[in-house]
A and B are shown apart, each in its own frame.
Chain A
Amino acid sequence: MSAPLPSCVTDPLGAVASAFDAAIGSGDTAPDQDGDWGIKATLQEALDRPGVMEQIPEINAVGVDNVRPGQLVRFRCMVQDMYNPEYYVGAYKDRSTGGKWRTTKFTERISGGNSVNTGESQPDDSAERVIWERRVLYCVPIPGESSWIARDDEDMVAKILAAAGERKEGPAAKVDEKVDEKAASSNPVAKHPRADHATCPPASIVPEAAESMDESLNLPLGATDVADGLPRAAPAIVKVYESEDALPVKLNDVLELVGVLQIEPDISNDVSNTNNDQQQAAMAAAAAAVNGDPATSGAIEAPAEIRTALIQHLAVPLGGDVLAAEYVLAAIVSRVHTRTDSLALGKLSVTLMGVPEGGDLPRNLAAAIADIAPCVAHLPLSIAGLNARSWTPKKDYGVNRLRSGPLQLAPGTVVVLDETALTSGQLRETGVRNVQALKQLVQLQELEYDFQYHQMRVPVDVAVVVLTSAKQGDSVVQGGECRVPLRMVKDTRVAEQLDPVMARTMRRFVARAWGSDHSISEKAGKEIESEMVAARQGERKATELEFHRWLTIARLCALSSGETDLTVKHWKHAMECERKTEERLRLM
């Protein structure tokens, strides 16, 4: 297809070994410092060549079973848990090769490679081994990732088309990765996707069943159903060799890693293990996969048409309600841009009221959103599901792991919260706590992780679309900004398959809008100010919260029109939407 791959891509461990040899020479002395030996630069340079990145298999897309251990792989994932740092024998004197120093960096075993270790090569004197430290992360495939991203990966041609020259090169870093193979292949529940979910591409979870499903895997949304022949997603243990300063990683960060896969049976559980060099996209890597850095990609043609197409697409499952679709679109492109002491500015959560009970609307809507947004989590609320388990992550000291919950999501995920399935019943303690967590999520974009002896507040950035059948009052989960009564003119339908070229444009458009910065002109600012002052004088006094909402919607109108500068036009448009909503609310 293209030029032969560089050797550091085809034989990463060999490249590491030769770099190590070159760095320490053949001397007898121990390397006293952990180093990089130039591997990072070599790999970075190789990955920068066009076409190379695309030929490295992505384990989510290809499936861990189809990759040879020791091979360089890509892994798009979210950091679910961070383990204690690990001390390992970084380099040792190999007696079998006549006292030559060898490194174990990027591999798990002393003898290196995958040959079974024998006692002879065991270095047994402290003078003959040095201990280094590495960081260990538990990474899961991005929860609720839309299937088109993985499919894009599979489809090399499409991939190259989409990504050519657009990828943002993050700082490369070394990652060693383990894949929990047992979890990946032997979970019986997961092998029989429930029939009602099989048709549903976005991540969907039935929490009462989730307990058994993802207990060992720690997937936030449980074992997701896999659409049309994609391999099952597998979590992995990632070992990072880069120092904390060079590669700061936080909980729930989305990473795109490049590393060496190694599958290794362990005593307790089957673990596959990899050595990785990595590349990181600081924002949603998923967005980067189609889009690259929004700032550098060229202008999008005919933004108005794409916006119309997006709204039409979203209106199909909403029974043709364009206004509601517009709000949903605004929610999709919303992002927290500023946090103050008690406010998360920029987020928008939309509550659609009067959704028919028991219909297909929630599922259709989630599917339609998944067509254009990178990550969608469809969470049906039910009494049993709420009572079944904690939705927020909780530390389990028994196994010393952070048990995931469905609300541990990557930044930029759209949550479709389906209240229509909710029946009357009694919430137990867990349930009450889950509802409170949802409220906190919607209101403050914060989640409280339960470490039993203390709570830790973790900022999140997810847009929430609540669907409720209630016609009046508030939804169960309070705190959302917009309440929009739904006006369906026809039945909900599954949005039709998008034309591939159009789909790609739309996804790019959405990713770009999500990631864009924004500004406002002096003039528009003044005008908006006076409008707000006027709004205070009227019959209904607007409150501060309403002002926040208006400004957010106006900003999102601008962004979803492909513009970054807020003008009076957008403000007017936002106010028009708000006026229509208010009218609907009055009539209900």
Chain B
Amino acid sequence: MVGWGWRARADAELTGVGTGLTFDPGAERTPPCPTSRLSVAAQSPPSRPPPAGRVSQRNDLGTGSRGRYSIGGGTPLFDTPLRAPSIAPSIVDQEDIARGGTGDGGQVSYIWGTTVNVEDARSRLRRFIEHFDPEDRGVGLYDLKLRECFERDDFQLDVDCKHLHGYDPQLYKMLVSYPQEIIPLMDAVCTEYFAQRVLPQDEMPPDENWGIQVRTYNLKETRAMRDLNPSDIDKLVAVRGMVTRVSAVIPDLKATYFQCSACEFHPPMALVDRGRVNEPPLRCQSCNAVGTQTLVHNLCHFANKQQIKMQETPDAIPEGETPHTVSMCVFDSLVDEAKPGDRVEVTGVYRAVPIRVAPNQRVLKAVYKTYVDVIHIRKDTTSRGPKDEIEFTDERIAEFEAMGKNGDIYERLVASLAPSIWEMEEVKKGLLCQLFGATSKTFKGSTSGNKVRGDINVILVGDPGVSKSQLLTYVNKVAPRGIYTSGRGSSAVGLTAYVQRDPETKDMVLESGALVLSDRGICCIDEFDKMGEGARSTLHEVMEQQTVSIAKAGIIAVLNARTSVLASANPVGSRYNPAMSVVDNIQLPPTLLSRFDLIYLVLDKPNPETDRRLARHLVSLHFKEPPPRAKASLDASTLTEYISYARSTYFPILNNEAAEVLVEGYVDMRRVGSAGGRKTITATPRQLESLIRISESLARMRLSNEVEKKDAEESLRLMRVAMQQAAMDPKTGQIDMDKILTGHSASDRMHRTHVADAIQDILSEMGTGKARLSELVSKLKERNSSMEMSIQECRDAAMSLVEQDRAMIKGDLVTLV
């Protein structure tokens, strides 16, 4: 039991200190309160009950230090009833001492300014360390941990505050309210326990400075930086944030070694009290020389200290405000734990110290500087972004499940995606597939362990002014991780990875490009067609193998880039030219094009009906209240959460029925492709994979682990619609502009089937089975006044008969088959 109580020792030595010389090793550090009495006084809010006694170690955390030092043999800290601190007698009010603050004579000791009974707290802590056993192993959890500490020769004991709360809520409350008193007490209790129970009898403590240091973490509540307020001062708080600055390691003088330069006599080492060095008497005690005492630096004790600045994480900042920052001091083994950019959760004591007007004046400003004395740092290493790992509460999960199992989820999701963008439902469906993604698969059978990507790549090719960029921006916003680049401004290396000489270390370092950064996310590339040929070719590897290989300047690396690519491009000549084939219009190399699962042709086609609705939508957008969201739709953040939930929970697999549908569909596609020669986009095995992926993502959307037939059918439909294949002449590869059906609402289609049925009726009544369109129009009008229409509309309706092989149209003559 050799001296692990430097604090107690300090009491004796600090008695009757002289005037202070400020020792301030850290350049960045503000003067740590020169007038010690002031800061001590400031620590306790005035509302506390009058002091009855005082534990001597309350300065421990107060010095801004968690370092424990002992000099020589000291008396064990708590062996005798607590002695009143003689540290700075001026702190103790006269009455304080008079009331028996010295604590001698078996009096009950309270922590100064509180109703916390020291002995009581000690026994509670002891009980906790000894008996807390959540897993019923018969041995206390912390007993085991202490034994581990012994094995590892490391004297940091992490104490989970949730355990403490579960075992003894009262103690937890004490800890949070008076951490500066309770934590040293915990140290003492643990050290005592360790020495009595863990340390083998014959073994001596490692060195005289040893002692268990308790680090508390996992408080019940984590505070937002913004919510800290003056009532939290000197309380234990947990805050989450991002480290922005880390200072160099500052040697913090803990104990001074003076020596007389004349006779080499040295007075006993003195502890540094809050940056104030206690100077030995001016006259040397041995040789009586005056002013010969000098500080011998290499015999002094120093501790590591570091200052860290932490900033609020972006998601915690209210709109239109700047992030708050908090300064922190870390000590000893916590130094260099956190680096700039780390997201951390810090447990520590929130402190406020007054600032001096000038370093050499005692006058203080009325303003306080706040910081956190760090006790524990927990790094958030699991996630790189805040959106990656959303923890869902049970209610939230139940809510999502209910939403997903509801039959209309597909429509709801479509309505929720970019609600301000008009129509384009088919494109939105494709983008949803991309957002939800499919499962990536590894084939175990093959030797190479072939991987098949689960990310869906989409390209939008279309006329200018059809809100492609807006869609991209929106997807970038809702995607759990998204990067937005413009093809014109991106170079190959900017997209993949590049090697750069680090300006500080002069080493070659690998810098990640956009695609690597959006690993497991979506990389949106606008103006894909304006991108350089070289840059585009680097995408080949990323889009199929999902890696980026780099071999440059002695660095050979393969980086993961499990990214979905969402690209947008204009057709050749800016506008879609209906006289040319689809392939000629897109003009991207087939190698690249085949890597896109969905290729959307977004064509701007006037249509009075949709145009009118668009116009009405715009007028109301500009001149009235913005239209209320469709009731069923989700807002952007809910959508993001739903996507993350579905992605993290469901991994759908095809059932037999669905597989058959896909196979048949694929065979059909191959047939169409081969007939068209070079003018159409030929289906390759990649398309089959795409179909599987799309159907998987559709199943995921409705939170199902099984891909059903309807998913497969929908995926085939999506792919066909995307390419406007319904309207394409397979022979020429051209799109019949009059035939594009997209944009027709369900009611339109319903109406058309009615009309078509009526036409069929009329034709069969005619006997000849033939009729001119103009005749049909008048006959239809006779039958039903609501069926009044133009010849063009009549032709459209008749066309649907043709599509079903029920009729033929030649010129304006309709013939029943």
Contact = CB atoms under 8 A, between A and B. Distances in A.
Given A126-B45, A343-B470, A451 B623 contact: no
A40 interface: no
A77 interface: no
Given A87-B367, A109-B366, A126-B41, A342 B473 contact: yes
Contacts of B199: none
Contact of B47 (A32, A81, A129, A252): A32
A397 B317 contact: no
A547 B614 contact: yes
Given A81-B322, A543-B465, A529 B616 contact: yes
Interface stretch (B403-411, B416-424, B541-549, B721-729): B416-424
Contacts of A108: 365-367
Interface in A121-140: 122, 124-133
Interface string B41-59: 1111111000000000000
Nearest to A112: B366
B317 A546 contact: no
A126 B619 contact: no
Contact count band on B: 35 or more
A160 interface: no
Given A81-B322, A87-B368, A250-B319, A525 B623 contact: yes
A334 interface: no
A119 B623 contact: no
A536 interface: yes
B314 interface: yes
B362 A119 contact: yes
A235 to B, nearest CB: 16
Nearest to B353: A87
Given A117-B357, A452-B244, A546-B465, A124 B322 contact: no
B46 to A, nearest CB: 4
Contacts of A537: 606, 608
A267 interface: yes
Given A84-B324, A456-B317, A341 B474 contact: yes
Nearest to A550: B618
Contacts of B470: 342-343
B526 to A, nearest CB: 12
Contacts of B341: 453
A551 B604 contact: no
Interface string A246-262: 00001111000000000
A454 B320 contact: no
A528 B365 contact: no
A541 interface: yes
A543 B421 contact: no
A131 B232 CA distance: 11
A124 B38 contact: yes
A124 B604 CA distance: 77
Contact of A342 (B323, B418, B604): B418
A23 interface: no
Contacts of B324: 84-85
Contacts of A87: 230, 233, 352, 367-368, 370
A569 interface: no
Interface in A511-563: 518-520, 525, 528-530, 532-533, 536-537, 541, 543-548, 551-552, 555
B618 A544 contact: yes
Contacts of A341: 418-420, 474, 477, 636
Contact of B611 (A30, A122, A345, A533): A533
Given A453-B244, A566-B623, A397 B323 contact: no
Given A400-B325, A532-B611, A537-B608, A345 B233 contact: no
B464 interface: yes
B25 interface: no
Given A541-B604, A543-B465, A520 B420 contact: no
A2 interface: no
Contacts of A187: none
Given A119-B362, A131-B230, A267-B357, A88 B611 contact: no
Contacts of A436: 489
B135 interface: no
B321 A82 contact: yes
Interface in A70-118: 81-82, 84-89, 104, 108-110, 117-118
Nearest to A338: B626
Interface string A442-460: 0000000001111010110
B12 to A, nearest CB: 25
A397 B467 CA distance: 38
A203 B608 CA distance: 49
Nearest to B341: A453
A248 to B, nearest CB: 9
A533 B421 contact: no
A525 B365 CA distance: 64
Nearest to B37: A124
Nearest to A436: B489
Nearest to B621: A345
A451 B137 CA distance: 50
A551 B618 contact: yes
Contacts of A548: 618, 622
A28 to B, nearest CB: 12
A541 B366 contact: no
Contacts of A552: 622
Nearest to B230: A131
A548 B340 CA distance: 45
B466 interface: yes
Contacts of A451: 311, 314, 323
A543 B321 contact: no
B624 interface: yes
Interface string B588-622: 00000000000000001010100110111011111
Contact of A532 (B370, B615, B623): B615
B623 A555 contact: yes
Contacts of B750: none
A126 B608 contact: no
A38 B619 CA distance: 49
B35 interface: yes
A82 B466 CA distance: 40
B358 interface: yes
Contact of B363 (A117, A129, A402): A117
Nearest to A537: B606
A89 B366 contact: yes
B611 A124 contact: no
Contacts of B230: 87, 131-133
Contacts of B233: 87, 131
B615 A126 contact: no
Given A104-B366, A543-B466, A456 B358 contact: no
A426 interface: no
Given A87-B368, A267-B357, A341-B419, A533 B466 contact: no
A88 B46 contact: no
A529 B623 contact: no
A432 interface: yes
A547 B618 contact: yes
B510 interface: no
Contacts of A342: 418, 420-421, 470, 473-474, 477
Closest 10 CB pairs of A and B: A543-B465, A250-B320, A340-B420, A520-B623, A87-B368, A532-B615, A529-B615, A536-B606, A127-B46, A551-B622
15 contacts: A32-B47, A84-B370, A87-B233, A126-B41, A131-B42, A133-B230, A345-B622, A451-B323, A453-B242, A519-B623, A528-B615, A544-B467, A547-B615, A552-B622, A555-B622
Given A126-B43, A453-B340, A547-B618, 6 more contacts: A108-B367, A131-B42, A345-B622, A397-B309, A528-B619, A548-B618
Interface of B: 35, 37-38, 41-47, 229-230, 233, 242, 244-245, 309, 311, 314, 317, 319-326, 340-341, 352, 354, 357-358, 362-368, 370, 418-422, 463-467, 470, 473-474, 477, 489, 604, 606, 608, 611-612, 614-616, 618-624, 626, 636
